[in-house]
Structures are given as C-alpha cells and as structure tokens.
C-alpha cells in the first residue's frame, strides 16, 4: 500500500503527460463521439439490474437522475497505454508463444473489465455522493490506484500461473 501511494504522483503525472500528447495528435473527437456513447450503454447494462435508474446520453449517463459525464479522457486510454507498455516489457522473456498469447488475451479481457469497474463505480459514487466526491474518486482511486493494483495483480498472476518458459 505504501508503494502505491509513493507511485501515485508518478502515475498521475504520466497520465497528464499522455493526455497532452493525445491532445496534440488529435483523434479525440472519435473517442468522444464513438466510444463514449458505447461505454455509457455498458454502464447502463451493469447498473440497471442493480436497481439504479439509468438513461444514456451521447456524452454520459444519468444515474438516479444525476448526470455523470464521460469525457474522452475518462475512458481509460492512458491505462491502456500503460498496459501496452507493460506488455512490451513484461513479455520479453524466454516464454512460449502460446503462453504469451494467453497473457495478451488475459490483458485485453482484464483491461476491459477494469474499465467497466472503473466507470460503474465512478457513476455510483457520483449518483450517491455527488460530483465533487466522484471527481476525487475518479482522479485518485479509479484512474490511478485501481490501474496500479490491476497491473500488479495481472503480472503476479501471469508470471505465477500463465507464462511458461521455453525448454
């Protein structure tokens, strides 16, 4: 836990840097116009059976009559980039091709479920305690610590149970 709090400024700073890079490259309209509405629908699918009143919009979702806006930077692209960089570094060992492919598939599925959990929990926090609490939760737990914990668990699991060295 101490290590995660020590790493928090580094992770937050790197995500802000990555956001600036993405702003300079362009293509953010695609994220906002295409990906965000689909993510809002995913959140609705998860929250509706749990008893929340939900209605999607092109820019977010209403949860119990509270608008939770999903900005292009909230979709987890920074965490995806960090995950991809970690994959490049973590799969450099002398491992079988099959086990590397299993780890890649685990990373894709795990990342998807991480994003769903992040978005759903931010929406629930926003609907329950308001926008300010949701922003704090998003910026410091959902967007950074949760990603850090995910990567730690992912690599522990991959090295312990999935990756096999070539003989």
**What is the rounded CA–CA span in Å between residue 26 and residue 72?**
12
pLDDT of residue 31: 80
pLDDT of residue 9: 63
The pTM for the full model equals 0.81
Domain that holds residue 124: 2-162
Q: Does residue 120 belong to any structural domain of this protein?
A: yes
Q: Does residue 90 belong to any structural domain of this protein?
A: yes
Convert the pLDDT of each residue in 103-159 to its tens digit.
999 999 999 999 999 999 999 999 999 989 998 999 888 888 898 899 999 999 999
Q: Does residue 41 belong to any structural domain of this protein?
A: yes
Q: Specify the higher pLDDT residue, 20 or 55.
A: 55
| Mean pLDDT calculated for residue range 38-50 | 96
* Backbone φ, ψ for residue 2 (5° rounding): -60, -40
Q: Does residue 14 belong to any structural domain of this protein?
A: yes
Collapse the DSSP code of 113 into the 3-class scheme (helix H, G, I; strand E, B; otherwise coil) and give the result: helix
Q: Does residue 28 belong to any structural domain of this protein?
A: yes
Q: Does residue 57 belong to any structural domain of this protein?
A: yes
Q: Does residue 153 belong to any structural domain of this protein?
A: yes
Q: Does residue 167 belong to any structural domain of this protein?
A: no
| Mean pLDDT calculated for residue range 74-80 | 81
Total domains in the chain come to 1
Instruction: Give long-range contacts, CB 8 A cutoff, 24+ apart: 94-97.
Output: 94/165, 94/166, 95/163, 95/164, 95/165, 95/166, 96/164, 96/165, 96/166
Helices (H), 52-161: 77-90, 97-129, 131-137, 146-157
| Mean pLDDT calculated for residue range 37-51 | 96
pLDDT of residue 75: 80
């Amino acid at each position: 836990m101490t290590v995660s709090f020590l790493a928090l400024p580094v992770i937050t700073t790197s995500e802000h840097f990555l956001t600036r890079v993405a702003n300079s490259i362009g293509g953010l309209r695609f994220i906002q116009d295409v990906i965000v509405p689909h993510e809002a629908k995913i959140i609705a699918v998860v929250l509706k059976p749990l008893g929340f009143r939900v209605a999607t919009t092109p820019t977010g979702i209403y949860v119990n009559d509270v608008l939770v806006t999903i900005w292009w930077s909230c979709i987890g692209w920074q965490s995806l980039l960090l995950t991809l960089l970690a994959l490049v570094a973590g799969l450099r060992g002398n491992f079988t091709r099959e086990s590397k492919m299993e780890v890649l598939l685990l990373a894709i599925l795990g990342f998807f479920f991480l994003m769903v959990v992040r978005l759903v929990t931010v929406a629930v926090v926003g609907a329950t305690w308001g926008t300010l609490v949701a922003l704090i939760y998003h910026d410091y737990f959902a967007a950074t610590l949760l990603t850090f914990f995910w990567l730690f668990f992912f690599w522990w699991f991959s090295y312990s149970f999935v990756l096999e060295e070539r003989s």
